C-alpha cells in the first residue's frame, strides 16, 4: 500500500506525466524490484504510486531528473533559480506538499480567489500571494511542454472591459494593447500555449507588492523569470488590478500591465530572483 498522502499522489502524478516512457518503465522496475511487469505508461504510473512508501525517496531517484522537478515547480507557480541543484528542488517540492493550502477556493464556475478574506484587517499582500499562486499555476498549465492537463483558463476570470498593456524588449521594443476579456485572455494564452513560455514569479517580499484602496481596487505587482524548457529567457514584471465581483463573491482582473525583458537587454542583472522596480507610490497611483 502506498505511503503517500493525497497531496503527494497528486504532485507525483504531474511529475510522472513529464517523464519519458523509458524512464517510467525503468523507475517502475526499481520501485518494485522488478517483481511486477508493466506494459505501458499508465500501468507504470499506477504501480510507482502504489509501491512508493516515501515521497522524498522517490523524488531522489535518478530517473526523476532535476529538470523535471524544476519544470513541475514552475508549473505550480513556484519560483526557483534556474541554477538550483536537485536536492534544493526536492526540498522545495516537499515543502510545497507539506504546506497547508492557503484559503483559496475555486467556485463551481472556476472563478479565481474567493472573497473569504475581505474582513476587518484585510491584508492585500496575502491576497496578492494567493492570487499569484492561483494565476501562474493555471496560466503555466496551458504550456504543452509541461505535459499537464490544462486548467480552467478563459475570459471568465476577467472583467468584460479588462485592459492589457504588453511591453516587450527583446531584440527591439514592442508595445501592444488589448481591450476586452476575450482578447486579453487569448493574448495571454498565446504566450504559454503557443510560445511555450513559463512564467516563474518571485513571491518573496522583494518580488511581490500589493496595496488596497477605498474604491476596492487591489493592485498586485510581481516580478519573476521567464523560461522555455530548461533555458532562462529573461525577466518580467506584471501588475494586476483586482476588483471583487459581488455577484460571484470572487476577485476578477480589471487590468494587466506586463513588461518582458529578454536576457540580452539586462546588462548583467541577476535574473535568478528579480526584484520589483515598481515602488509603493507608483502602485498607489493606480488606486487613485
What does the pLDDT read at residue 101?
41
What does the pLDDT read at residue 91?
92
Q: What are phi and psi of 118, to 5 degrees?
A: -80, 75
Cell representation of residue 204 = 518573496
Q: What are phi and psi of 249, to 5 degrees?
A: 55, 45
Residues of the chain with pLDDT > 90, as a percent, come to 39
**Do 94 and 131 share a domain, yes or no?**
no
What does the pLDDT read at residue 266?
61
**Do 18 and 77 share a domain, yes or no?**
yes
**Do 38 and 166 share a domain, yes or no?**
no
Helices (H), 141-279: 181-193
Domain contains 109: no
**Do 62 and 178 share a domain, yes or no?**
no
- Between CA 229 and CA 93 the distance in angstroms is 19
Domain contains 116: no
Domain contains 250: yes
What does the pLDDT read at residue 106?
38
Q: Provide the mean pLDDT of the chain.
A: 82
Cell representation of residue 184 = 486579453
Q: At what angle do helices 66-75 and 86-98 cross, to 10 degrees?
A: 40
Residue ranges making up the domain that contains 20: 6-98
What does the pLDDT read at residue 279?
54
- Between CA 254 and CA 109 the distance in angstroms is 18
Q: Name the region of 229 (left: φ>0; alpha: ψ -120 to 50; beta: rest).
A: left
**Do 253 and 137 share a domain, yes or no?**
yes
- Between CA 46 and CA 2 the distance in angstroms is 10
Cell representation of residue 82 = 534556474
Domain contains 23: yes
- Between CA 209 and CA 205 the distance in angstroms is 7
**Do 23 and 137 share a domain, yes or no?**
no
What does the pLDDT read at residue 116?
36
Q: What is the mean pLDDT of residues 53-82?
A: 88
pLDDT in tens, 233-283: 888 999 999 998 877 668 899 999 999 988 776 655 555 555 566 555 555
- Between CA 75 and CA 267 the distance in angstroms is 28
Q: Residue 283 carries which DSSP code?
A: H
Domain contains 194: yes
User: Which residue among 98, 115, 134 closes a domain?
Assistant: 98
CATH number, domain containing residue 209: 3.10.450.50
- Between CA 213 and CA 284 the distance in angstroms is 8
Residue 145 to residues 19, 128, 150, 192, 196: CA-CA distances in angstroms? Answer: 11, 27, 11, 9, 7
Which range, of 111-125, 160-174, 243-257, averages the lowest pLDDT? 111-125
Question: Which residues, listed in sequence order, are joined to residue 251 by a DSSP beta bridge?
Answer: 244
Domain contains 112: no
- Between CA 89 and CA 112 the distance in angstroms is 28
Domain contains 105: no
**Do 144 and 191 share a domain, yes or no?**
yes
**Do 192 and 243 share a domain, yes or no?**
yes
pLDDT class for 80, splitting at 50, 70, 90? confident
User: Within a 10 A sphere around the Cβ of 218, how many other Cβ atoms?
Assistant: 26
What does the pLDDT read at residue 123?
79
pTM above 0.75? no
Domain contains 106: no
pLDDT in tens, 203-230: 877 788 888 777 788 899 999 889 988 7
pLDDT class for 115, splitting at 50, 70, 90? very low
**Do 85 and 192 share a domain, yes or no?**
no
Kindly provide the b/e burial profile for residues 7-41, where b requires at least 16 CB atoms within 10 angstroms of the residue's own CB: ebeebbebbbbbbeeebbbbbbbebbeeeeebeeb
**Do 17 and 86 share a domain, yes or no?**
yes
**Do 221 and 283 share a domain, yes or no?**
yes
- Between CA 270 and CA 276 the distance in angstroms is 13
Judged against a pLDDT cut of 90, whether residue 76 lies above it is answered with: no
Neighbouring residues of 173: CB distance < 8 A, sequence distance ≥ 6? 167
Long-range Cβ contact pairs of 120-129 (< 8 A, separation 24 or more): 122/212, 124/210, 124/211, 124/212, 124/218, 124/220, 125/208, 125/209, 125/210, 126/102, 127/210, 127/218, 127/220, 127/242, 127/251, 128/208, 128/209, 128/210, 128/218, 128/220, 128/222, 129/102, 129/203, 129/208
Quote the number of domains for the chain: 2
What does the pLDDT read at residue 229?
83
**Do 185 and 56 share a domain, yes or no?**
no
Amino acid at each position: 500500500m502506498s505511503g503517500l498522502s493525497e497531496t503527494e499522489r497528486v504532485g507525483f502524478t504531474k511529475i510522472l506525466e513529464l517523464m519519458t516512457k523509458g524512464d517510467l518503465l525503468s523507475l517502475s522496475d526499481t520501485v518494485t524490484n522488478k517483481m511486477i511487469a508493466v506494459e505501458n505508461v499508465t500501468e507504470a504510473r499506477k504501480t510507482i504510486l502504489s509501491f512508493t512508501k516515501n515521497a522524498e525517496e522517490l523524488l531522489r531517484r535518478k530517473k526523476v531528473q532535476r529538470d523535471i522537478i524544476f519544470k513541475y515547480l514552475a508549473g505550480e507557480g513556484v519560483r526557483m533559480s534556474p541554477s538550483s541543484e536537485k536536492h534544493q528542488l526536492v526540498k522545495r517540492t516537499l515543502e510545497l506538499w507539506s504546506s497547508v493550502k492557503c484559503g483559496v477556493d475555486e467556485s463551481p464556475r472556476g472563478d479565481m480567489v474567493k472573497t473569504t478574506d475581505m474582513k476587518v484587517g484585510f491584508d492585500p499582500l496575502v491576497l496578492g500571494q494567493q492570487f499569484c499562486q492561483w494565476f501562474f499555476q493555471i496560466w503555466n498549465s496551458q504550456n504543452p511542454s509541461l505535459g499537464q492537463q490544462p486548467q480552467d483558463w478563459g475570459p471568465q476570470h476577467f472583467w468584460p472591459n479588462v485592459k492589457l498593456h504588453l511591453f516587450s524588449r527583446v531584440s527591439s521594443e514592442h508595445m501592444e494593447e488589448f481591450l476586452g476579456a476575450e482578447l486579453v485572455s487569448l493574448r495571454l494564452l498565446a504566450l504559454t500555449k503557443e510560445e511555450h513560455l513559463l512564467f516563474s514569479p518571485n513571491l518573496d517580499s522583494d518580488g511581490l507588492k500589493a496595496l488596497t484602496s477605498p474604491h476596492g481596487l487591489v493592485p498586485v505587482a510581481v516580478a519573476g523569470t521567464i523560461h522555455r524548457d530548461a533555458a532562462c529567457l529573461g525577466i518580467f514584471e506584471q501588475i494586476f488590478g483586482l476588483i471583487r465581483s459581488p455577484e460571484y463573491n470572487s476577485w476578477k482582473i480589471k487590468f494587466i500591465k506586463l513588461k518582458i525583458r529578454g536576457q540580452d537587454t539586462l546588462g548583467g542583472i541577476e535574473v535568478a530572483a528579480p526584484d520589483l522596480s515598481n515602488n509603493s507610490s507608483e502602485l498607489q497611483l493606480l488606486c487613485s
